[in-house]
Amino acid sequence: MSAEATDPESPDAPGRRRARPRPAVRGLRRIGRAALLGTAGRHGLPDALEHVAKVHRRHHPDADLDILSKAYVLAESSHRGQMRKSGEPYITHPLAVTLILAELGAETTTLTASLLHDTVEDTEVTLDQVRERFGSEVCYLVDGVTKLEKVDYGAAAEPETFRKMLVATGNDVRVMSIKLADRLHNMRTLGVMRPEKQARIAKVTRDVLIPLAERLGVQALKTELEDLVFAILHPEEYATTRRLVAEHSARPDPLAAIAARVRTTLDEARIPAEVLVRPRHFVSVHRVRLARGELTGADLGRLLVLVTEDADCYAVLGELHTCFTPVVSEFKDFIATPKFNLYQSLHTAVSGEFGQIAETLIRTHQMHRVAEAGVIALGNPYAPTDGPDAPDGERADPTRPGWLSRLLEWQRTTPDPDTFWTSLRDDLAQEGEITVFCTGGPPGGPADGAIGLPAGASCVDAAYARHGEAAHCCLGARVNGRLATLATVLHDGDRLHLLMAPDSATGPAPEWLDHARTPAARLAISRWLSRPPGQESGERPQEPSPPGPAACPQAGAPAEPTPAGVLAVADLPGASVRLAGCCTPVPPDNVTGFAVRGGTVTVHRALCPVVARMAATGRQPVGVRWRCTDRTGHGCRVTLLAEAFSRPHLLADLTEAIAAQGAAVVSAAVEPPHEQRVRHTYTLHLPNVAGLPSLMRAMREVPGVFDVLRAGRDRPTAALRAR
């Protein structure tokens, strides 16, 4: 933290916007002067703390400032003699961080911890001392933002620090609030750093801190961080954007005229409202320019209408749509359906007198506070709830952090720092969130209910979000009542029913990775597919248990257990035998085997493509024979491929034919039609292996089916496909 510091008023500091000075600058200057002069107090407070206290009292009139004074005295004495790279006393940094949080309305505990946030990391103060003087809550917040030592973690120090911080945020989001304010002040004062270090810090801010600010709803910090990062990483585009804003600022503002008309309209309707012109920040202007090309004066800002009650928001909307020409496609109601980060507003756009389009936000004053400060505006969101429906001491969670729960879940299973760091950036890069209402799952799994997913998530993501590793046995899904593939992309409000195998003998196919968007799903699938050699090719140990469902018919899926009474024997003394799930061999198939680690022999059908691949790599086959060749009285599992012309009700007719032969469908997959042809893949359990030929004949007799073959054979020739 001290390594990211420089002069906050340096003219070379990136992202400085003299045309739009921040209200906090005067307060920061005052803090800096007071820190240089010492800690002599007035009205019982140190001079340097007076401005922070004044801002804090605006939001919390009854706040007890004694604890802030004690925290400042400890921080000032601990950091005494330490200087920032700009030459300022180091105490100016925690004071500036505290002022940022105070202006956003943070409560006293958060401000106390922010004053102390660097003491444990950079001074001789210990966590035990913080706990003894300020309590366990402040101690937890300070510990949450304290970096791990590079001497202990080496190159993994940064990702492991963020992992520690995220875990702490899972228990108290105020940890991340302090970190965001800390990073904002460091980004404001980054000018004396070497350019390469500025770029490194800016990239981490862009990839991790800005998405976290968005998810916590702290828009005031997010937008300024975006501009500061923009100035460092894209200096030319930043300079162009500043120039365009400066050029338009010298011209009449069309939004001011529209705002005046809106005020008159609302006054006539007797709706008390405050109408403001809200300038866009530089990154927002840049995005609008990329999307629309030529900028107009109305593109540089939006109208903001603030009212008292929720009902007034809709009254304002009605007046605007009555007295102005609305742009219907721009209407969004985030009051009835708030965003996942607490954001609430009505969005609309209306046309001005000369055709200018004014984007308009309508919200209450409370909604505006939450829109700007997110979870910080909620005070202490973890105070015990008081209500007849709340158990004593239960903590309320107003942030609805489905994204945070998912993040904490997958990070627990990702010990490798590099994998965690890459997955964290990928997860945070996903914008937006949807809610899916999920049913179905393995016995003993979670109850039906809503789950939050990132926008663009598929049924695969939903399965792993809902059931964790138990999702390995997912066979398919129904989305809004219709059968769908696991690759189906879900949308907000979809009803999802997951179809699961009755036991855990199945597993994910490699192509699931192409459909998975969330790190939790990708990591779980990758772990399954990259199992040790003793479990490769989708094998499971041979078991004398009653037959259960078989694997999905892909290499890399779990092999089916060998049915009782139909055991294979390898010509390798003492070797155990596993049947491969990629080709599901059954008597009297011609089979061969390959030795794998652990003294196990994998049994494949001789025609299985895996056999050719293993032979090509120099693997020596092992002779295998069936112990029992009696083709009656023994159940088995087999995978069949049905080649057919695409037509309605084909799936229903095939499954009906299969059921008529006494076979049970364990899993089914339907490939997308290609040139009016379609391939169905079925893994089936037959009570009697002798019934396999008649089953295949019955499936071939289904109208539209031109061939049925075992998995592992060559695909039909072009001539066969052309029949």
As annotated, the active-site residues are 121-122
Determine the Cα–Cα distance for residues 640 and 661; give it in Å rounded to an integer: 14
Interaxial angle between packed helices 282-292 and 235-249, expressed in degrees from 0 to 180 and rounded to the nearest 10: 90
Position of tokens 């950091």?
79
Determine the Cα–Cα distance for residues 163 and 159; give it in Å rounded to an integer: 6
Phi, psi of 466 (to 5 degrees): -85, -40
Among candidate residues 199, 200, 172, 190, the one with its CA nearest the CA of residue 110: 172
Instruction: State the alpha helices, DSSP H only, in 60-173.
Output: 66-79, 92-103, 108-115, 119-122, 127-134, 136-145, 150-153, 157-171
Determine the Cα–Cα distance for residues 38 and 91; give it in Å rounded to an integer: 11
Residue 667: its H or E element: strand 664-670
Residue 376 DSSP SS3:
helix
- Beta-strand relationship, 41-42 and 474-479: unpaired
Instruction: State the alpha helices, DSSP H only, in 172-234.
Output: 174-188, 195-204, 210-215, 219-233
Phi, psi of 123 (to 5 degrees): -135, -175
Position of tokens 């593939």?
485
**Token pair recorded at residue 395:** 């903590």
Determine the Cα–Cα distance for residues 25 and 27; give it in Å rounded to an integer: 5
Q: What is the CA radius of gyration of the chain?
A: 32
Instruction: State the alpha helices, DSSP H only, in 351-494.
Output: 365-373, 402-412, 417-428, 459-467
- The one-letter code for the residue type at 715 is R
How would DSSP label each residue in 66-89?
HHHHHHHHHHHHHHTT-B-TTSSB
| Bond into 195 cis (ω within 30) | no
Contact of 476 with 483, CB cutoff 8 Å: yes
